[in-house]
Structure 1
């Protein structure tokens, strides 16, 4: 039985729409399974994105079955859009394919520098939390240290306190040769709003031992140093051990 050109065109558009929906479902589920979501969004949204991916995949399979059974006769039954249907579908499908081909990358030292980290970043944009001297200093993460210093920025208050923190290394130009910046990115919603926080680390040896963008666990104690006329808290490292990049680089 021959199919008239109008029906054939309608079927092609319907299959294109279904393919776009299915591709997005596969993309979101792939990111959830291989851990890519950890570098893209806040953990609070993992379940929502995973469920959304499953729903899109289910819809794609269901609509494919309906189309094969002749239950769908036009693309209008699949969706409505502010843009022309062909443009909307191609944008969705193209973005999904790009997401499946291109692997998202973790933020590096270059991103930290571009987003404003320097040797004076101990005062940051982190949300303030109540200052307390009762917290065991060694239990603080790097982000906790920065937030605590934000709340009470007198570096002498922390002299001698022990630290046990981890992050990735980078070297701002203004930092002396025996210092490095240990940094982590803080995420509020997604990678687009991530911003870096960092603490200066004083070490012995050479920078070749601590390559930029590598991750390290640093143990030491708090001291006070002066950079460009500004007194800052610095961690005087007693031990620096390489570690693997965390599965979730934004949370500790």
Structure 2
């Protein structure tokens, strides 16, 4: 194996670290980092990326300088051990890896950041059995049997966790809600008002939602809406969800600046 071939993994590894670190810093400067990670980890992530940039550059310099000292020796010592076909294969694979790294970096810098979609929510199953783990909303249970709890700041996550954790949902019927989320279409004039909950980063994002029954037209899939109404018993007795929102109004809105809940 030639010296240049043996150092290829080092170049690719350090180059990938540098690319990811630069993209992270760019997202932070552009104010888009919270589309990918929980804000509580933002400072740690930015500091780590800031350290990784000079470290990766220094590593690349060291590898490049080392290449010059032993190039001739390695060439004569190992050239006969590898056939031309093997070397070409390694070169092609190394080039492909480099192109992927460059492509990801360019895409991160050029393409606009996007949020997780309604289709992703359907694929990950809205309100799966892991809902309570995703939300961690133990405080919401204090609402049961109490009229003194302020629910004005409750989001989709809080109400969804509360409904799931409650055995007697009759005390929730009639509670007024005003919630924002995107549309995952259902059937018979219903849809699920959905938000993604991020514990750490977008990879572990869990979709949570509340069923919405409306007498009007169901908005398009993925459309962001603000729903005003009251909690009611689900008219579909065969459905898993016992409580839905009986919508008084469904207003189309722009995607919020921070589309996730935490």
TM range (shorter): 0.7 to 0.9
The CA deviation at 1:8 is: 8.4
Residue number in structure 2 paired with 1:182? 193
What SS class does the counterpart of residue 183 from structure 1 fall into? strand
Aligned to 1:94: 100
Task: Identify, as 1 or 2, the structure richer in helix.
Answer: 2
1:11–1:184 Cα change, 3 Å: closer
Off by >6 Å, runs of 4+ in structure 1: 6-17, 86-90
Out of 109, 115, 125, the residue aligned to residue 116 of structure 1 is 125
2:172, 2:142 → 1: CA distance?
Answer: 12
C-alpha separation between the residues in 1 aligned to 2:106 and 2:198?
23
Q: State which of 21, 25, 44 in structure 2 corresponds to 1:29.
A: 25
Does 2:54 correspond to 1:40? no
Residues 38 and 46 of structure 1: is their aligned pair in 2 closer, same or farther, counting only changes over 3 Å?
same
Equivalent-residue separation in structure 2 for 1:196 and 1:228 (angstroms): 23
Q: Supply the RMSD in Å over aligned alpha carbons.
A: 3.7
Q: 2:247 maps to which residue?
A: 237
CA offsets 1:149-181 (integer angstroms, 9 cap, x no match): 122143311121110111101113xx312x221
- Of the candidates 136, 139, 142, which is equivalent to residue 132 of structure 1? 142
Tell me by how many angstroms 1:63 deviates.
5.6
Q: Distance in 2 between matches of 1:249 and 1:123?
A: 22
Unpaired runs of 5+ residues, structure 2, are 70-90
Question: Measured at CA, do residues 155 and 51 of structure 1 come closer, stay the same or move farther in structure 2, by a change above 3 Å?
Answer: same
Q: Over residues 8-27 of structure 1, what are the superposed CA-to-partner deviations in whole Å (9 max), with x where a residue is unaligned?
A: 88999987666444323211
Distance between the aligned counterparts of 1:19 and 1:170, measured in 2? 40
TM-score by length of 2: 0.70
Q: Distance in 2 between matches of 1:22 and 1:54?
A: 10
Deviation at 1:55, TM superposition (A): 1.6
> Which residue of the other structure, out of 196, 221, 225, is the alignment partner of 2:207?
196
TM-score by length of 1: 0.73
Match of 1:50 in 2: 46
* SS state at 2:25 partner: helix
CA distance in 2, matches of 1:57, 1:229: 56
Moved more, 47-56 or 8-17: 8-17
On the 8 A contact 1:137/1:161 being kept in 2, the answer is: no
Counterpart secondary structure, 1:55:
helix
Contact 2:24 2:49 in 1 (8 A): yes
2-structure distance, mates of 1:224, 1:34: 44
| 2:163 corresponding residue in structure 1 | 149
Residues 64-94 of structure 1 show CA distances to partners (whole Å, capped at 9, x for unaligned) of 7x66xx9x43499xxxxxxxxx989985773
Q: CA offset at residue 98 of structure 1?
A: 1.2
Unaligned runs of 5+ in 1: 1-5, 77-85
C-alpha displacement at 1:51, in angstroms? 1.5
Residue aligning to 1:161: 175
